[in-house]
Structure 1
Amino acid sequence: MMLMTVKGKIAELDAAAMTAARERWDQLTKPLGALGKLEEIGVKLSGIQGTVYPSVARRAVVVMCGDHGVAAEGVSAYPADVTGLMMQNFLKQKAAINVLAAQAGAEVLIVDVGSRVEEKWDGVLHRKVKAGTDNMAQGPAMTRDEVLQAIQVGVEVADDLKARGVEVVALGEMGIGNTTPSAAMASVLIGYPVAALTGYGTGITVEEKPRKIAVIEKAIEVNRPDPADPLDVLAKVGGLEIAGLVGVILGAAANKMAVVVDGVIAGAAALAACRIESNAGCYLFASHLSQEPAHAVMLQEIGLSPLLTLDMRLGEGTGAVLAMPLLEAATRLVAEMATFADLGL
């Protein structure tokens, strides 16, 4: 599906299914609302899937990988080569996302949408638009066409997951330097000052942080992205893996699949996706609250409340898969708990 087609397929949630689900939750053997956010999760899943008894049995995490030209400005504590090394680590099943996804029963799908890696490793979905973005401190990170290509990659990934029966998808990513475009996007799209949104990323020092802030401010000044045009923002100060995740969100929403948002990079993708099509936000769950300061601002802007607060800032989709058992809990409760009528009341 192309972008305009996808947007046209993203519907509001099924109101009738949500009403019926609330009635079911209210009949269960508990005080009204006593299961709190689990009830909200369950009702939202019912709205997404159009049934009182939704399922999240089939799960996947999409790890979009891309490199960033702005890494040359010294905004990360790690060199750009680490992106490729971590992709190999994913393939060896030795990264944090592999461990946590296995625990959550989620398939890990690695997508190379824009890394500088030249090799084509078995186990990686090779959909490279270009070998890393250009340095956004000196000019646009991408062309608008490259953004659309990366979004299309994500849409096609979501379509494939739906075809294979996946019911919920977590957003993951890998790309050294990618907290920099994420903060830049948040600043432009929300209108917050860069300094208030910029964190330590991979672990830069307090002394190095002002440089990162200055680089982001320079990128915005040089490129002048249009806050009213999310595609322009993505092209000028975004990332290929961020655009890829935008496509996953839009494609999943068009296919009536739940999407679990990870940290600040996935948050930037979610913010852009919601600006492209507001109904996309109905399909999102915020998994956790990242230590990166832009994340809380993004979630508030989208209207999402994080389910977990674990002081994490790893990325890869780690927080998102940790939240998947909470979605499963909601589906089990509504299906397996007794009602007061079952007790003869």
Structure 2
Amino acid sequence: MTVEQAVSLVTAADEEAKKACKRRWDSIAKPLNSLGKLESYLIKIAGMTGTSAISLEKKALVVMCADNGVVEEGVTQTGQEVTAIVSENFLKEQATASIMCRETGTDIFPVDIGIAADTNIINKKIAYGTRNMTKGPAMTREEAEKAIMTGIEMVGELKEKGYKIIATGEMGIGNTTTSSAVVSVLTGLPVENVTGRGAGLSTEGLGRKINAISRAIKINRPDPEDGIDVLSKVGGFDLAGLAGVFLGGAVHKVPVVIDGFISAAAALAAVRICPKAREYMLASHVSKEPAAAMLLEKLELEAALHCDMCLGEGTGAVALMPLLNLACAVYNGMSTFQDINVEEYKPLA
């Protein structure tokens, strides 16, 4: 199957299922709409899955891991070897995301989609890292499409195993640089407006990063109307894989949770490829990265959490899981007004 064929399978969210979920919420013996976003998230999930019978017991975090050739330009504080080390730590519960997954009952699936070394995590490697985007395209269009299909297929595999919701994460030294490039092209905003310090760059390092992104965009001239072209020329394998996960959520009708800035950049690319994919996304938190809030605005999504997080790995997406569990517990377990013989609340004018 090609990306184009997969995208052709996407349909709009189920409005009848959303209405049924809203009716269930309104029948529960509590003030109307009093759980705010917890209610609206479940209503959205009903639309995504096509049913108001909601269970989120099996949760997954997919972490796309890859290296980026642009690190040659001195845009990072740490070396490329860190990608492989942290990626393997996900399986040892020695990474932040894996510890948070343990505590929230979320299963973690780290994927080697393009690390510059051999690893012992899930092997979906397309190449040993991308090329330096300041000297030409980061990858070929064929490689980008293969990475996107990897994400789409991953969602299908997890759905077959019974997973009901998927959080997105990434690991790849240099990927705030590629993400800023993708966001600048897709939004038309100046590079300096969408580029932050990443994992602690100095002012001098930030200058190198902005310069590298500007050169990459100028040399490659990615087409902002073509999400695959943008990902292939100034993106990374991790970003393309994540875009595939978002598209896979829409194809397979599985809710997918956006993490922070990098994950949202991939989500925006997915929406450029398939606008209906936005209906299958949930925003977790507002990252501390400069352009994070702007990205959510572009996606027309509101996040529940404001924690000033910017760690990545899927930590923000996983942090949303306990709130969704609480929402499900009330939604599925609480008495209705009819059960307790109390008159229902009526909507105020």
TM-score band by shorter chain is over 0.9
2-structure distance, mates of 1:161, 1:2: 19
1:241 equivalent in alignment to 2:233 = no
1-structure distance, mates of 2:239, 2:205: 24
- Give the alignment partner of residue 154 of structure 2, picking from 148, 153, 157: 157
Contact 1:53 1:334 (C-alpha < 8 Å) held by counterparts: no
Please give the residue correspondences for 1:1-345 in structure 2 after superposition, counting only pairs within 5 Å: 1-117=1-117, 119-121=118-120, 124-345=121-342
Q: TM-score, normalised by structure 2?
A: 0.95
2-structure distance, mates of 1:191, 1:263: 20
1-structure distance, mates of 2:20, 2:92: 45
2-structure distance, mates of 1:71, 1:24: 51
Instruction: Indicate the SS of the match to 2:54.
Output: coil
1:331/1:9 Cα in 2 relative to 1: closer, same or farther (>3 Å)?
Answer: farther
2-structure distance, mates of 1:230, 1:95: 31
Q: Provide the aligned C-alpha RMSD in A.
A: 1.1
Q: Which runs of 5+ in 2 are unaligned?
A: 343-349
Identical counterparts, % of pairs: 46
Superposed CA deviations along residues 26-55 of structure 1, whole A, max 9, x for unmatched, are 122222211111110111111112222211
Contact 2:76 2:205 (C-alpha < 8 Å) held by counterparts: no
Q: TM-score, normalised by structure 1?
A: 0.97
Once the two structures are TM-superposed, the CA of residue 113 in structure 1 deviates from its matched residue by 0.6
1-structure distance, mates of 2:100, 2:73: 32
Once the two structures are TM-superposed, the CA of residue 206 in structure 1 deviates from its matched residue by 2.3
Instruction: Indicate the SS of the match to 1:154.
Output: helix
2-structure distance, mates of 1:158, 1:317: 16
The residue type paired with residue 158 of structure 1 is V
The residue type paired with residue 198 of structure 1 is T
Superposed CA deviations along residues 59-102 of structure 1, whole A, max 9, x for unmatched, are 11011110000011011111111101112222222100110001
The residue type paired with residue 127 of structure 1 is K
The residue type paired with residue 62 of structure 2 is V
Superposed CA deviations along residues 164-219 of structure 1, whole A, max 9, x for unmatched, are 00010010110000000101111110111111111111110123212211111111
1-structure distance, mates of 2:30, 2:203: 49
Instruction: Indicate the SS of the match to 1:169.
Output: strand
Mean Cα deviation higher: 326-335 or 53-62 = 326-335
Instruction: Indicate the SS of the match to 1:208.
Output: helix
Once the two structures are TM-superposed, the CA of residue 120 in structure 1 deviates from its matched residue by 4.1
Once the two structures are TM-superposed, the CA of residue 294 in structure 1 deviates from its matched residue by 2.1
Superposed CA deviations along residues 266-293 of structure 1, whole A, max 9, x for unmatched, are 1111001111111111111111111111
How many residue pairs get matched?
342
Contact 1:134 1:141 (C-alpha < 8 Å) held by counterparts: yes
1-structure distance, mates of 2:102, 2:40: 26
Contact 1:69 1:135 (C-alpha < 8 Å) held by counterparts: yes
Instruction: Indicate the SS of the match to 1:293.
Output: coil
Once the two structures are TM-superposed, the CA of residue 331 in structure 1 deviates from its matched residue by 1.8
